A = this chain, B = another copy of it.
């Protein structure tokens, strides 16, 4: 609880969108322009947090109006003290429950009706996506994300390592589930070659 610092407004946070806070977070590592910001988000948290240009520039404006960021020497945006303090308070509040929107899982829910081929196709689609996610995360070299002049030593590496490990762990769990699911289907006599649709490669 006890935040002791006093700023122009008390303990409460301004009602920024989660995306605005995310932007603020990325700027807390080092100043960037909008374009670099977008790239950094895509690269590091891309598959559990998206920021489109349609959001990015308006939100940057909002952050500027709140006095949380200011223009740096070059054309990049940098955190102000107010911004840093606000970010800290945001980080200390419990996160909103994670949301998922998993259409593939919904389809699976009804796919038995459409036939085992459809079911298998869904599982393989999922496997392909999980594999890609895992491989991208594996290929990521921790600590090599940001330009050297902005390195903030081992702590940053820890955070990115945790995020990366999370991505890999969930992807692997997904893959294990795919194995299990396909095995269960096979057990029940369902095989890829059998039945209606031969699935063209997707």
Give the residue of B104, B159, B169, B176 whose beta carbon is less than 8 angstroms from that of A98. Answer: B104
Is the CB of A155 closer than 8 A to any CB of chain B?
yes
In the assembled complex, how far is the CB of residue A20 from the closest CB belonging to chain B, in whole angstroms?
Answer: 12
Residues from chain B with Cβ under 8 Å of A101 in the complex: 18, 48-49, 98-100
Known A92-B197, A202-B94; judge A111-B188 contact (CB<8 A): no
Give the residue of B125, B180, B200 whose beta carbon is less than 8 angstroms from that of A165. Answer: B180
- A158 contacts B170, C-beta separation under 8 Å: no
Residues from chain B with Cβ under 8 Å of A170 in the complex: 170, 173-174, 177
Give the residue of B106, B122, B184, B199 whose beta carbon is less than 8 angstroms from that of A152. Answer: B199
A112-169: which have CB < 8 Å to B?
112-114, 118-119, 121-122, 125, 129, 149-153, 155-156, 158-163, 165-166, 169
Residues from chain B with Cβ under 8 Å of A201 in the complex: 151-153
Is the CB of A107 closer than 8 A to any CB of chain B?
yes
By the criterion of a CB under 8 Å from any partner CB, how many residues of chain A are at the interface?
79
- B110 contacts A159, C-beta separation under 8 Å: yes
- B169 contacts A177, C-beta separation under 8 Å: yes
A-B pairs, top 6 by smallest CB distance, nearest first, are A173-B173, A95-B104, A25-B110, A48-B102, A112-B155, A48-B100
Q: What are 16 residue pairs bridging A and B, where the CB atoms are less than 8 Å apart in the complex?
A: A2-B197, A18-B106, A92-B197, A94-B125, A98-B100, A108-B163, A109-B163, A112-B156, A119-B159, A151-B201, A169-B174, A169-B176, A169-B180, A170-B173, A170-B177, A173-B173
Task: Please give the residue numbers on chain A whose beta carbons come within 8 Å of chain B beta carbons, in ascending order.
Answer: 1-2, 18, 21-22, 25, 28-30, 44-45, 47-50, 87-88, 90-92, 94-114, 118-119, 121-122, 125, 129, 149-153, 155-156, 158-163, 165-166, 169-170, 172-174, 176-177, 180-181, 184, 188, 196-197, 199-202
